């Protein structure tokens, strides 16, 4: 039975089931995803907006406080007092203690010379007159820088205020702790996947962000428009989406940015772990179910196919037998007529010989004519057997004693067997039931099988016949101790015209085919077992009641 | 010792001639006919104790001849003899009134015996 069509069929069934199972599941998942995405997006945006607003207030406050500190110091002391570094140092210590956020302090005169400095760097006597911020503070009165390198070759930011004292301008300058600023920006309440930092107008980082960006490096956000309040934009690039919330600080010189990776499947699944469970279970269950159904359906298909094949085989066998029947009948007829002529002519010659008793050769002629007559007889038996094969029609069903029928059949052949010192042993059980079947046909089968057995064993052999009750019928076993049948022939011996017999007797090769046909038409069975060198055993089983009405192929053999 | 008169009908002359000779040798007066028409002519000319008729013949076949004999010469028993045997044919022949149905090649003794039995039935 070919397996490929079934594999293809199984694939198809699986595909259909998968489609029917997975499509709704995926659709449900997609719908859930879309609905949740909108909700989560809104939530994310709101969160971002609130966070940015809150952070802006904190940072503004920090920067304003530092500026106020500076202005307070500038207003509270004379320039002369501030040039006293010991005092300046005390002030710095106090500021750091009270608020923090300031790293150093310095006083610069109107020529830009750093007159007094307290802090970790060596900046005293530096001249700032050509620095842009110095000019700015002298004109504007106060100044906050971006993060820059300056003389100390290290990113930092400064704040400066102008102080008028006795007609002269001074500048009080402080370095703001950018680490503290960065920490302030980053600290607290940042959602996973979010990034918070400050950029200047040029788009350079003013605060460090989680070790990913260094100060003063340029961010990849491009120019950001100045606006009031908080603005949240959605940016999509290369399959990923992010929300960017911005708000401007310090009157538009800095911008506080929060980047939040847009909502993804992972967030959905984090939000609803059950969804993942249902989905995975569905994914596993649908193919499993598909397989179960496919296998069951295929089993059904296979059974149907087998049944059909059996029916077909039976029908083909019947047709074959019918054709053989017709052929046998016409062949027998064509041969019977010339045989009859030969027989008649031989008869006339024999009759004539009777008148020639005086002739010396008469005896030899008689012997030779007898041989011709014997051969005619032999051929006649063959053709009559062939016709017997084609002649079985509408068997008479009657109560049959199988053992008696067998005994009668054996009596036909026993004399011939004994002549070859072949023993025929009968083992008949007691209480073998009568069965309703066709006596003539049963005897035909017995005769064929017993003749075969006698042929097989040869002189001195033994044929053993057992008769006994079997389940729902009667069983007959006809065994010989002949040479046995080769395994490769065993399957074919019931085929018409198959014969392994060789030798002087003529065999049509139809004997066993007829037996099988008869047994089938009587609703019985015939089987064979054989061992090379040990012998062969044919087993017949007859039902209690033959199936009437099945006349098989022989009905076609007429005309 | 011609105690019995037989009509032998067969289209095979090669069969007809030696068989007739053998029967004659055994005291049976034998008229041979190679066709149904010929047989009917013979029947019209004289009385027969028995007829042996081949079934398969060109022209009028044995069954048709049997029908005519049972209709027009009901006293003549008919033995059907054919190389083409089937149970239906045999049953049909017997239904049409044949005395016996024999299969070619028939053993000569069987044929002889059958003829004698048929003739005996007639004289009885």
pLDDT at A516 over 80: yes
Confidence of residue A316 (pLDDT cuts 50, 70, 90): low
pLDDT digits (tens, 9 = 90+) for A243-264: 888 999 888 888 988 887 766 5
Task: Tell me how close the Cα of B124 comes to any Cα of chain A, in angstroms.
Answer: 30
pLDDT at A339 over 90: yes
pLDDT digits (tens, 9 = 90+) for A26-85: 888 788 777 777 787 787 788 888 888 888 888 888 888 888 888 888 888 888 888 888
Instruction: Quote the strand ranges of A335-420, DSSP E.
Output: 398-400
Mean pLDDT value across residues A119-144: 86
Q: Name the residue facing A558 among B88, B104, B108 (closest C-beta).
A: B88
From the CB of residue B109, how many other CB atoms can be counted at a distance below 10 Å? 8
Scored b (16 or more CB within 10 A) or e, B73-93 reads beebbbbbbbbbbbbebbebb
Does the beta-carbon distance from B86 to A344 stay under 8 Å? no
Does the beta-carbon distance from A337 to B83 stay under 8 Å? yes
SS (H, E, C) chain B: CCCEEEEEECCCHHHHHHHHHHHHHCCEEEEEECCHHHHHHHHHHCCCCEEEEECCCCCCCHHHHHHHHHHHCCCCCEEEEECCCCHHHHHHHHHCCCCEEEECCCCHHHHHHHHHHHHHHHHC
Q: Name the residue facing B87 among A334, A347, A391 (closest C-beta).
A: A391
Q: Residue A340: its pLDDT value, please?
A: 93
On chain B, the residues whose CB falls within 8 A of the CB of A340 are: 12, 15, 83, 104-106
Q: Residue A527: its pLDDT value, please?
A: 93
Does the beta-carbon distance from B103 to A384 stay under 8 Å? yes
* Residue of A45, A1, A10, A337 lying closest to A191 (CA atoms): A45
ipTM score over 0.95, yes or no: no
Confidence of residue A559 (pLDDT cuts 50, 70, 90): very low
Q: Residue B42: its pLDDT value, please?
A: 94
Mean pLDDT value across residues A547-557: 41
Task: Find, in chain A, the residue whose alpha carbon is nearest to that of B88.
Answer: A558
Mean pLDDT in chain A? 81
CA gap A83, A74 in Å, rounded: 12
On chain A, the residues whose CB falls within 8 A of the CB of B61 are: none
On chain A, the residues whose CB falls within 8 A of the CB of B18 are: 341, 344-345, 347-348
pLDDT at A315 over 70: no
pLDDT at A482 over 80: yes
Q: Residue A388: its pLDDT value, please?
A: 66
pLDDT at A345 over 70: yes
Does the beta-carbon distance from B18 to A332 stay under 8 Å? no
Confidence of residue A504 (pLDDT cuts 50, 70, 90): very low
Mean pLDDT value across residues A298-303: 85
Does the beta-carbon distance from B86 to A557 stay under 8 Å? yes
Task: Tell me how close the Cα of A441 comes to any Cα of chain B, in angstroms.
Answer: 14
Confidence of residue A394 (pLDDT cuts 50, 70, 90): very low
pLDDT at A471 over 90: no
Q: Residue A463: its pLDDT value, please?
A: 94
Please tell me the number of Cα atoms within 13 Å of A280 on its side-chain side. 6
pLDDT at A418 over 50: yes
Q: Residue A553: its pLDDT value, please?
A: 37
Mean pLDDT value across residues A316-326: 68
Share of chain B above pLDDT 70, in %: 94
Does the beta-carbon distance from B83 to A341 stay under 8 Å? no
CA distances from A461 to A353, A406, A457 (A): 41, 19, 5
- Interface residue of A341, A370, A372 to substitute, partner B, most B CBs within 10 Å: A341
Q: Name the residue facing A391 among B56, B85, B105 (closest C-beta).
A: B85
On chain A, the residues whose CB falls within 8 A of the CB of B21 are: 348, 351
Q: Name the residue facing B104 among A336, A351, A557 (closest C-beta).
A: A336
Q: Whole-model pTM? A: 0.41
pLDDT at A501 over 70: no
Q: Residue A543: its pLDDT value, please?
A: 93
On chain A, the residues whose CB falls within 8 A of the CB of B108 are: 343, 347
Q: Residue A191: its pLDDT value, please?
A: 56
On chain A, the residues whose CB falls within 8 A of the CB of B22 are: 344, 347-348, 351
Is the Cβ–Cβ distance between A107 and A171 less than 8 Å? yes
CA gap B18, A492 in Å, rounded: 45
Task: Tell me how close the Cα of A391 comes to any Cα of chain B, in angstroms.
Answer: 5
Task: Tell me how close the Cα of B10 comes to any Cα of chain A, in angstroms.
Answer: 11
Q: Residue A549: its pLDDT value, please?
A: 45
pLDDT at A548 over 60: no
On chain A, the residues whose CB falls within 8 A of the CB of B88 are: 393, 558
Task: Tell me how close the Cα of A347 comes to any Cα of chain B, in angstroms.
Answer: 7
Confidence of residue B36 (pLDDT cuts 50, 70, 90): very high
Q: Residue A110: its pLDDT value, please?
A: 87
Kindly report which listed range (A130-134, A212-216, A286-290) carries the lowest average pLDDT score. A212-216
Task: Find, in chain A, the residue whose alpha carbon is nearest to that of B19.
Answer: A344
Q: Residue A539: its pLDDT value, please?
A: 95
Does the beta-carbon distance from A393 to B25 stay under 8 Å? no
Q: Residue B33: its pLDDT value, please?
A: 95
């Amino acid at each position: 039975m070919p397996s490929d069509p079934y594999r293809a069929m199984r694939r198809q069934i699986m595909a259909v089931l998968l489609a029917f199972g997975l499509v709704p599941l995926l659709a449900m998942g997609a719908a859930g995803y879309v609905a949740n995405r909108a909700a989560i997006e809104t939530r994310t945006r709101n969160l971002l907006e609130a966070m940015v607003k809150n952070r802006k207030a904190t940072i503004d406050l920090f920067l304003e406080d530092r500026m106020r500190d500076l202005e307070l110091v500038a207003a509270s002391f004379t320039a002369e007092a501030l040039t006293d570094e010991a005092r300046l140092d005390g002030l710095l210590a106090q500021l750091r203690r009270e608020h923090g956020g300031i790293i150093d302090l310095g006083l610069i005169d109107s020529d830009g010379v750093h007159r007094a400095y307290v802090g970790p760097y060596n900046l005293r006597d530096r001249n700032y007159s050509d620095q842009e911020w110095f000019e700015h503070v002298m004109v504007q009165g106060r100044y906050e820088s971006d993060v820059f390198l300056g003389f100390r070759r290290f990113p930092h930011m400064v704040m400066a205020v102008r102080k008028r004292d006795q007609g002269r301008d001074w500048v009080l300058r402080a370095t703001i702790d950018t680490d503290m600023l960065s920490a302030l920006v980053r600290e607290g309440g940042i959602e996973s996947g979010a990034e918070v930092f400050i950029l200047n107008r040029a788009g350079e980082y003013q605060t460090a962000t989680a070790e990913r960006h260094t100060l003063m490096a340029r961010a990849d956000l491009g120019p950001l428009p100045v606006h009031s309040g908080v603005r949240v934009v959605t940016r999509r690039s290369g399959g990923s989406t992010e929300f960017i919330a911005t708000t401007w600080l310090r009157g538009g010189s800095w911008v506080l940015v929060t980047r939040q990776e847009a909502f993804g499947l992972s967030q959905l699944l984090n939000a609803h772990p059950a969804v993942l469970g249902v989905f995975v279970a569905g994914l596993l269950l649908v193919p499993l179910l598909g397989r179960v159904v496919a296998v069951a359906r295929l089993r059904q298909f296979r059974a149907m196919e087998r049944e059909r094949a059996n029916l077909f085989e039976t029908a083909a066998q019947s047709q074959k037998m019918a054709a053989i029947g017709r052929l046998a009948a016409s062949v027998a007829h064509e041969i019977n007529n010339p045989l009859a002529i030969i027989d008649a002519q031989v008869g006339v010659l024999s009759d004539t010989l009777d008148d020639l008793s005086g002739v010396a050769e008469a005896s030899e002629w008689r012997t030779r004519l007898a041989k011709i007559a014997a051969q005619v007889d032999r051929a006649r038996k063959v053709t009559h057997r062939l016709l017997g094969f084609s002649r079985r029609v509408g068997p008479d069903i009657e109560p049959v004693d199988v053992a008696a029928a067998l005994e009668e059949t054996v009596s036909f052949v026993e004399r011939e067997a004994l002549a070859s010192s072949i023993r025929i042993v009968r083992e008949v059980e007691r209480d073998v039931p009568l069965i309703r079947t066709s006596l003539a046909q049963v005897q035909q089968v017995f005769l064929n099988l017993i003749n075969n057995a006698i042929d097989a064993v040869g002189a001195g052999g033994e044929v053993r016949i057992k008769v006994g009750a079997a389940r729902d019928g009667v069983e007959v076993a006809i065994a010989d101790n002949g040479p046995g049948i080769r395994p490769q022939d065993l399957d074919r011996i019931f085929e018409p015209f198959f014969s392994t017999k060789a030798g002087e007797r003529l065999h049509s090769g139809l004997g066993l085919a007829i037996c099988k046909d008869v047994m089938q038409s009587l609703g019985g069975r015939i089987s064979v077992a054989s061992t090379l060198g040990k012998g062969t055993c044919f087993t017949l089983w007859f039902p209690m009641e033959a199936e009437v009405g099945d006349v098989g192929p022989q009905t076609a053999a007429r005309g | 010792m011609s105690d019995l008169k037989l009509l032998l009908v067969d289209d095979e002359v090669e069969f007809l001639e030696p068989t007739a000779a053998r029967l004659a040798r055994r005291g049976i007066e034998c008229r041979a006919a190679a066709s149904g028409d010929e047989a009917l002519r013979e029947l019209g000319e004289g009385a027969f104790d028995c007829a042996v008729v081949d079934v398969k013949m060109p022209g009028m076949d044995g069954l048709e001849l049997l029908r005519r004999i049972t209709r027009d010469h009901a006293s003549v028993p008919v033995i059907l003899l054919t190389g083409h045997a089937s149970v239906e044919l045999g049953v049909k022949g017997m239904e049409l009134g044949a005395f016996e149905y024999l299969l070619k090649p028939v053993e000569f003794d069987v044929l002889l015996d059958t003829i004698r039995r048929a003739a005996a039935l007639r004289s009885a």
